[in-house]
Chains A and B, each alone.
Chain A
Amino acid sequence: MTRSFRALLIRDLKLAARVGGSGVMGLIFFLMIVTLIPFALGPDLNLLSRIGPAILWIAALLATLIGLDRLFQADQEDGSLELLRLSPAPLELIVLAKVTAYWLTTGLPLAIATPLFGLLVALSPEGMLAMVVTLLVGTPALTFIGAVGAALTASLRRGGLILAILVLPFMIPTLIFGVSAANAAVGGTVPFATPFLILIALTLISAVVGTAGTAAALRSAE
């Protein structure tokens, strides 16, 4: 069972790294959004650093979303999904392997690259640290929630937009508590731990519900 998990994880990581893979796309998209916003707002450093966490979080959310439609669609199109069903491991474990691989190639690089992008929105060092931590904790929640939508839209040809409409509302709580935790770290009346612990809880809940929901969506698809 762990063999199947590892095999699938490694395959998806390899695919992300190859030509046409989603490996760097999310990161470049993230950079584009974060770069565009200072141009739109003008060089007001105080304003930028105040809304910096929100900008970074929205950019991370969109960057997570952008490759999600291919999560199961690619496997559906070339018949790999049928192969995945023949595994001795339960479908939930297969979902977990795919989501883990996706997060390792999108969420994790985003979190690691945040200090660099934080410079563009004049974030303070504490703010950058808080952004890294909240993104590390929060992006798995986004990926798990998105996976349910990806499984539901796997067989639709232009599923990307429907996927976004389906899952964005469910990502709002994560966004709220992610941004408020990052804001709490740079100042404000709320202690950092309060929203941060809720963010952790959201991630844990979506890990369970997202995995079960994605597997159920794949089972019901015919």
Chain B
Amino acid sequence: MRLSVNNLACDRGGRRIFEGVSFTLLSGEALVITGRNGAGKSTLLELLAGRLHPAGGKIIWEGAGERSLTECLHYVGHRDALKSALTAQENLDFARDFLGNPALSPAEALEAVGLAHAARLPVGYLSAGQRHRVALARLLVAHRPLWLLDEPTSALDAASQETLRQLLENHRAQGGMIAATTHSPLFLSEPKEIRIERQSARIEREVP
């Protein structure tokens, strides 16, 4: 599978946020998106997730057969898409059935993010970090090759960040792809990196 982005530009509210963003992502690769606050990192992810439409350039998704890009990706953003009134288990049950291609069971996914004990608690009772981990557990209940993560380490403690790093590396080892925005290093092995700066094109560079 291959995700190619060519010369992507984005307008919001009549203003150009960024332009000339290009990169290629292959199976097993990770892309780390950095940039100042407001540079358009999250916007880039939203473009990839199909929520916004590019003002210019192309997003090309190949090698997934008939499945479109939106059917092949997971998106975990700042808003965690969890229902506070439902338990962690129910939230994941829903995501698993709804997204298709079921992978781990909700109980196993919660175990993997270290929240097995919270399965039966309404998500509204959980802390910010715990909620975020439930949202990350969603990545595991349905099998999708591309993971789009907006600040995946926010609100996570050191141990959870390490768990997250392992989840991401596992996903890459199985041929998955990751695109993540971040301010703090993710400690992934050999990620591609792209820096978004307002109104300017940046070339990607391989980090040794």
Do these two chains interact? Answer: yes
Of B49, B53, B86, the residue contacting A11 (CB under 8 A) is B86
Beyond A78-B81, A80-B81, is A88–B99 a contact (Cβ under 8 Å)? yes
Tally A-B pairs: CB < 8 A: 79
- Interface set, chain A 66-94, CB cutoff 8 A to B: 77-80, 82-88
Contact present for A83 and B51 (CB under 8 Å): no
CB contacts (< 8 Å) of B83 on chain A: these are 11, 15, 78, 80
CB contacts (< 8 Å) of B86 on chain A: these are 11, 14-15, 18
- Interface set, chain A 3-46, CB cutoff 8 A to B: 3-4, 6-8, 10-11, 14-15, 18-21
What interface size band does chain B fall in?
Answer: 20 to 34
Contact present for B100 and A88 (CB under 8 Å): yes
CB contacts (< 8 Å) of A85 on chain B: these are 49-51, 70
Contact present for B77 and A3 (CB under 8 Å): no
CB contacts (< 8 Å) of B73 on chain A: these are 86
Contact present for A87 and B98 (CB under 8 Å): yes
B190 within 8 A of A: no
What interface size band does chain A fall in?
Answer: 20 to 34
Would you give the 0/1 interface string for B73-111, flagging 1 where the beta carbon is closer than 8 Å to chain A? 111011111111110001001110111100000000000
Contact present for B85 and A18 (CB under 8 Å): yes
CB contacts (< 8 Å) of A3 on chain B: these are 97-98, 100
**Shortest distance from the beta carbon of B89 to any chain A beta carbon, whole Å:** 12
**Shortest distance from the beta carbon of A100 to any chain B beta carbon, whole Å:** 15
B62 within 8 A of A: no
Of A20, A82, A87, the residue contacting B79 (CB under 8 A) is A82
CB contacts (< 8 Å) of B81 on chain A: these are 78-80, 82-83
B60 within 8 A of A: no
Beyond A88-B71, A222-B52, is A82–B77 a contact (Cβ under 8 Å)? yes
Beyond A14-B90, A86-B71, is A4–B80 a contact (Cβ under 8 Å)? no
Q: Cα distance A25–B5 when bound, in Å?
A: 48
Q: Cα distance A18–B67 when bound, in Å?
A: 35
CB contacts (< 8 Å) of B93 on chain A: these are 7
Beyond A79-B81, A88-B99, is A11–B94 a contact (Cβ under 8 Å)? yes
CB contacts (< 8 Å) of A15 on chain B: these are 83, 85-86
Q: Cα distance A3–B82 when bound, in Å?
A: 19
Taking A4-B98, A78-B83, A87-B98 as given, write out 14 further A-B residue pairs in contact, using a Cβ cutoff of 8 Å, ordered by the A residue number: A3-B100, A7-B93, A7-B97, A8-B94, A8-B98, A11-B90, A14-B85, A15-B86, A78-B80, A82-B49, A85-B50, A86-B73, A88-B71, A222-B52
